[in-house]
Amino acid sequence: MPDALPGGFAAPLLRQPAQAGLGEAAAGWLLAAPAALALFALLLGPSLMLLALSFTDWELGADGLRWIGLGNYAELLEDDSFLAALRNTLLYVAVVMPASIGLGLGVALLVEGGTRLRAAFRAIYFLPVVSLLVAMATAWQFLLHPTIGPVNRLLGLFGITPVNWLGSSDWVLPSLCAIGVWENLGYVVVLFMAGLIAIPAELYAAAEVDGARSGWARFRLVTWPLLGPTTLFVVTITAIRCLRVFDTVAALTKGGPNKASEVLLHVMYKEGFTYFRIGYSAAITAVFLAVVLALMLLQTRILDRRVHYA
């Protein structure tokens, strides 16, 4: 009976199996249609358009466009700005992502381990996330000012010579990384705290009975494995947030001096919105999307296998 539905309880439907299946499929499609259309119109369609544009030389306001195949991508390989931006962005992710996740986990464990002021700490660490980054960048600009900034004044008390945090090509990327960690830390803390709360207390008691006496042993045997799903999510979201670094660069350094703080999204913005080269800008965006996708695939492939879903 190949047509029969599993289980015998759907007897009324069995009378006209083919028609019912068709009707059900149609209804299914109908119900899914609004969401599917929206998905296509808002996400897939524009992405395909973008991909198509990246093979053209269209400039904003130009009369027409020409199909230039991989021309834009070939130019990317010789473009100093783009290469510097790619290098700086990957460096930024490599520094900011582990630093904010490591620090965030530490802070979350400390806050969660304490007994008082949990909500207050959570709010304080979350402040940078809810504040407008461009406005905060102005505050950072003042803090890091080479001559009148409090940071250099403070260092001066210990006899350290002033550092030109945002104006020197050696220091500008480390400075932006520090601001990036500050920006992401609160987000990571809040996510990890949510993960920690979900771990049942009995597991810790059981681990202790089984001989896990030290805090480290409990962390290694209970906390860390059970935080797996949270960690996967945190790593994914932090990686994307780091890749998207733009506000601080646009507000503080404009990619300078001499491309020392150029990042992918800023180059894309400049190409598209200052140079009017939409086709080229689309190619940069395509590369950006490829990097994001590659990172996501890597993470889910590698991490998903090791994550223990309780």
Partner 1 sequence: MNHLTRRGALGLSLAGLGAAALHPAAAQTGSIELTVHYPMPAFFKDVMETIAAEFTAANPGIRIRYPAPSPNYEEAVQAVLRQGAAGGLPDVSFQGLNRLRVLTERRLPVDLTPFLAREGSAEARGWSQPILNLSRFGGIQSGMAFATSNPIVYYNLNLVRRAGGDPEKLPTTWDELLALSGRIAALGDGISGMHFRWAGDDWMFSALLYGHGGRMLTEDEKDVAFNGPEGHAAVALIDRMVKEGRMQPLTVDAALQAFYAGKLGIFSGTTAYIGSMLRSIGPSVELRTTKMPVIDPVRGRLPTGGNAAVMLTRDPSRQDAAWRFIAFATGPRGQEIMTRGTGYVPNNTIAPRDERYLGAFYRENPLFRPAMEQVPIAQPWYAFPGSNGVRVTETIVDNLARIVEQRAAPEGALADMAREVKRLLPR
Q: Which residues would be at the binding site for partner 1 (CB under 8 A)?
A: 59-62, 81, 141-142, 145-148, 162, 164, 166-169, 252-254, 256-259, 270, 273-277
Residue 53 or 189 having the CB closest to partner 1 = 53
Residue 156 or 215 having the CB closest to partner 1 = 156
Nearest to 184 by CA among 245, 227, 139: 245
Nearest to 218 by CA among 202, 229, 238: 202
Cβ at position 308, least distance to partner 1 in Å: 48
> How many angstroms separate the CA atoms of 99 and 242, rounded?
11
Cβ at position 93, least distance to partner 1 in Å: 24
Cβ neighbors of 203 (< 8 A, separation 6 or more) are 222, 226
Cβ at position 148, least distance to partner 1 in Å: 5
Cβ at position 146, least distance to partner 1 in Å: 6
Residue 167 or 225 having the CB closest to partner 1 = 167
Q: Do 187 and 106 meet the contact criterion of CB atoms below 8 Å apart?
A: no
Cβ at position 70, least distance to partner 1 in Å: 19
Residue 81 or 299 having the CB closest to partner 1 = 81
Contacts 24+ apart (CB under 8 A), 69-75: 72/279, 72/280, 72/282, 72/283, 73/283, 73/287, 75/280, 75/283
How far is residue 64 from each of residues 50, 55, 59, 70, measured CA to CA in Å? 17, 14, 8, 18
Residue 65 or 99 having the CB closest to partner 1 = 65
